[in-house]
Amino acid sequence: DAMVIQNPRYQVTQFGKPVTLSCSQTLNHNVMYWYQQKSSQAPKLLFHYYDKDFNNEADTPDNFQSRRPNTSFCFLDIRSPGLGDAAMYLCATSRVQGYQPQHFGDGTRLSIL
């Protein structure tokens, strides 16, 4: 089945230790998104790629970076995780940007020790 796959499902890292979350898709969608979702809150968009074009949200901290080496894969790098970065990270894709439903992966729950 075509889908959005996020690895790992759970990630534990130490305060200040870089961590990378991965997302892959078999939908061949042009747009890939990264969201941060904290407990009892709506998902918050961090950034997205439209093909190779990277679009950062204005309030996304510099600590968060992303890479999209090809259509299928997208990575979220957190350079120096702080306690406030503990959250669920959701990857989503859409065929094009705007008006299209976004298809989400299962998420990676990040814990910071």
Partner 1 sequence: AQKVTQAQTEISVVEKEDVTLDCVYETRDTTYYLFWYKQPPSGELVFLIRRNSFDEQNEISGRYSWNFQKSTSSFNFTITASQVVDSAVYFCALSEKDQFYFGTGTSLTVIP
**Residues at the interface with partner 1 (CB under 8 A):** 40-43, 45, 88, 90, 92, 97-107, 109
Could you give the CA distance from residue 110 to residue 5 in angstroms, rounded to a whole number?
16
| CB of 41 vs partner 1, minimal distance in Å | 7
First to last CA, the chain: 36
| CB of 44 vs partner 1, minimal distance in Å | 8
| 5 versus 71: smaller Cβ distance to partner 1 | 5
| CB of 16 vs partner 1, minimal distance in Å | 26
| 69 versus 98: smaller Cβ distance to partner 1 | 98
| 40 versus 70: smaller Cβ distance to partner 1 | 40
SS3 (DSSP) at 83: helix
Distance of CA 53 to the CA centre of its chain: 15
Question: Which of 107, 100, 111 has the alpha carbon at shortest distance from 27?
Answer: 100
